[in-house]
Structure 1
Amino acid sequence: MSKTLVIGDIHGAYKALLQILERANITPNDRLIFLGDFVDGWGQSPEVIDHLIRLKSTHNCVFIRGNHDDLLLGWLKTGQYSEEWFNHGGRSTMDRYNAMDDDKKQIHILFLESLADYYLDDDNRLFVHAGFTNLNGVRHEYFSRMFYWDRTLWETALSLNPELSVEDPLYPKRFTHYKEVFIGHTPVTRIGLTVPVQKANIWNVDTGAAFKGPLTIMDADTKEYWQSEPAHELYPEEIGRN
């Protein structure tokens, strides 16, 4: 039986990616939905993208754009970058890509250009890196950058009174359009956790692999999940850089 599996923010942790794919026992029949931020953080961003490209040819994959993926694409195409990106994982990524030949870079550029802003499945479940701001849903979003930069969706979910009824006029309208919404972008380590967190119908699957948390893959139907070892334990030589 095929599964729909959601993968949180990888952030260059190639070793963690291999661990979760093995631990979840994925098959070519499964749908793999990657929530973005494949790069920056740990030092194997090119290896992550190489592996995703390979998976694309053998598995049913959906790749969603994260803000770090967009920042890398911008630098690869224009040579321009912000100091904020440079100091938040971009430096090691830049070093790796500067050592890469142009043909390989072009393959990665094409992959990054192909990423989706979001994915809406047949069960009305939304998969998006960060969130959206339009009260009428993703198809009405005025600013596409919000799909990979917004934090207000998750902040609203965290602050929502769990006793508030969906029919209540105070209930966030954004939450009513989709059966469930799966996001990354804002690690749950910020609230002291390292497992997927549900607030209202929002599921946050970013369990902090960019820092000292594990990488997570979760079954969107059953909510069973599998995790890697904490990413910093897989890259002890890089401690202090993240």
Structure 2
Amino acid sequence: MRTLVVGDIHSANRALRQVLDRAAVSTGDKIIFLGDYVDGWSEAVETVDFLIGLKKTHNCIFIRGNHDDLCREWLLTREENPTWLMHGGQATKDSYSGIDRERLERHLRFYDDLENTYLDGENRLYLHAGFTNLKGIEHEYFEKMFYWDRTLWELAQAVGPHLKRDNKNFPQRLKNYHEIFIGHTPISKTGPAVPKNAANVWNVDTGAAFKGPLTIMDVETKQFWQSDPVHTLYTNENGRN
């Protein structure tokens, strides 16, 4: 059984289907989605529908992203957040236009059931963004950090390649886990990108909301598969560009 991790989708249902096919994903695989299922391309509703269906046939874990939280808040209150609308929310709002109540309730349950973090048996941590407490996720004071923080990736990138885990100066925050897998901060917004490793952190957001592809990666082997650059699959749309 493989454990596969999927980067930020941002409503790119066509890219999602493509990359799952290219990775030859089977029912024997565990698929961990790192969040941001919506906001960007036009198929927010179709993406969530597909993921709900995939959960019925595959071993899926769905992590909460900041865009998923923003979308859920809008669906519940219908209060428009101008910043959200400018950063992919308008496409999501349009996608949800005219959705029937039963389908909406299924989607709200999907958003409610998202997990902030997932820790596997090999002490590998999966979350959308990061955490700030030096002792680890169970001591985090601010739950929203799990899907809004950018300091974890910034910290990982600041750790030089010669600073090893057993060094007393290696960041304590990172020592808590064997490896950490995140999305949230796109590696590139302007062109193709591949998953990036810094210290013991892997960033799998290869910019599917912008000019990059969607990525799925085997956490053991680090082999990865990618969709076509997503903007080429939605040629008449801007995404978050």
Per the TM superposition, whether the score is higher than 0.5 is yes
Q: How far has the Cα of 1:191 moved from its partner?
A: 9.6
User: What residue in structure 2 maps to residue 87 of structure 1?
Assistant: 86
1:48 aligns to what SS in structure 2? helix
**1: CA distance, partners of 2:91 / 2:25:** 30
User: What residue in structure 1 maps to residue 37 of structure 2?
Assistant: 38
Overall identity of the aligned pairs, in %: 55
User: What residue in structure 2 maps to residue 219 of structure 1?
Assistant: 218
**2: CA distance, partners of 1:165 / 1:127:** 22
**1: CA distance, partners of 2:190 / 2:236:** 27
User: What residue in structure 1 maps to residue 200 of structure 2?
Assistant: 201
**For residue 226 of structure 2, what is the amino acid of its counterpart?**
Q
**For residue 120 of structure 1, what is the amino acid of its counterpart?**
L
Maintained 8 Å contact 1:8/1:217: yes
1:183 aligns with 2:182: yes
1:229–1:240 CA distance, 2 compared to 1 (3 A): closer
1:189 aligns to what SS in structure 2? coil
Unaligned 5+ segments in structure 2 are none
Over 6 Å off, 4+ runs: none
Deviations 1:33-78 (A, max 9, x none): 0000000001101111001000110000000000000000001111
1:177–1:190 CA distance, 2 compared to 1 (3 A): farther
Q: How far has the Cα of 1:240 moved from its partner?
A: 7.3
Maintained 8 Å contact 1:74/1:81: no
User: What residue in structure 2 maps to residue 156 of structure 1?
Assistant: 155
TM-score by length of 2: 0.97
Q: How far has the Cα of 1:212 moved from its partner?
A: 0.4
**For residue 66 of structure 1, what is the amino acid of its counterpart?**
G
**For residue 53 of structure 2, what is the amino acid of its counterpart?**
R
Aligned length: 241
1:98 aligns to what SS in structure 2? coil
TM-score by length of 1: 0.96
1:28–1:240 CA distance, 2 compared to 1 (3 A): closer
Q: How far has the Cα of 1:192 moved from its partner?
A: 7.3
Q: How far has the Cα of 1:190 moved from its partner?
A: 5.7
User: What residue in structure 1 maps to residue 119 of structure 2?
Assistant: 120
**1: CA distance, partners of 2:6 / 2:164:** 30
Maintained 8 Å contact 1:211/1:232: yes
User: What residue in structure 1 maps to residue 23 of structure 2?
Assistant: 24
Maintained 8 Å contact 1:183/1:202: yes
User: What residue in structure 1 maps to residue 100 of structure 2?
Assistant: 101
**1: CA distance, partners of 2:65 / 2:183:** 9
1:240–1:15 CA distance, 2 compared to 1 (3 A): closer
